[in-house]
Amino acid sequence: MPLIDLSYPLSNNTPPFPGDPSVEIKILASTEQTGREERQSLNCGQLTLPIHCATHIDAPYHFYANGPTIDQIPLTDCTGPAVLLDLFDLPVIDAQHLSPHREQLTTHRHAILHTGWYRQWGEDHFFTEHPVLTAAAAQLLVDCGVLLLGVDFPSVDRSPHQAHLVLLGNNLLIVENLTNLDAIGPRPFDFSAIPLAIVGRDGSPVRAFARIND
């Protein structure tokens, strides 16, 4: 079964969310370096980045001090049959845009919103003019029993973060900054976005992918 990568690559040029520090990948040792007597025998690096950078997952602790941290969330919630909803040209995604898909959402419980915004990656307005969800749309997802919501834009909302509060307040996981959703098409698929077990923290970078079930 083919796998489709839905994640942005990480490099020193990966744009962080405005106000966050940049990604830094430092070389600690390289086979290209020479020592006193001979070349190094290995390559080794160090990665420094904000947790909510590129393709990442939000844990409830991101907005709730008593919510589960990323190392506490069930991995079973991070993978499973998913539904891809095409929601193009909607600056605001409300409950009325999701309600026609209620049966699919209830059945699949992993919802991926395909707005096409990922095509704006690298543009100055990528982080400032992206689509957002209303609190009512977030509540509909909760009411359908959705376990995980994935979006192809950098945040499900803006301050005062009403959608975040509804979703994470009900332990519904959020994966932001997905890419390459066009490659999935209308085929049935499983979605996976497995976080690092970062103890006590609010989220994690992920390698998200779709497994096509032809």
| Annotation says 62 is catalytic | yes
Three-state SS string across the chain, please? CCEEECCCCCCCCCCCCCCCCCCEEEEEECCCCECCCCECCCCEEEEECCCCCCCEEECHHHCCCCCCCCCCCCHHHHEEEEEEEECCCCCEECHHHHHHHHHHHHHHCEEEEECCHHHHCCCCCCCCCCCEECHHHHHHHHHCCCCEEEECCCCCCCCCCHHHHHHHHCCCEEEECCCCHHHCCCCCEEEEEEECCCCCCCEEEEEEEEEECC
Q: Which of 52, 56, 62, 110 is catalytic?
A: 62
- Hey, which residues are catalytic here? 62
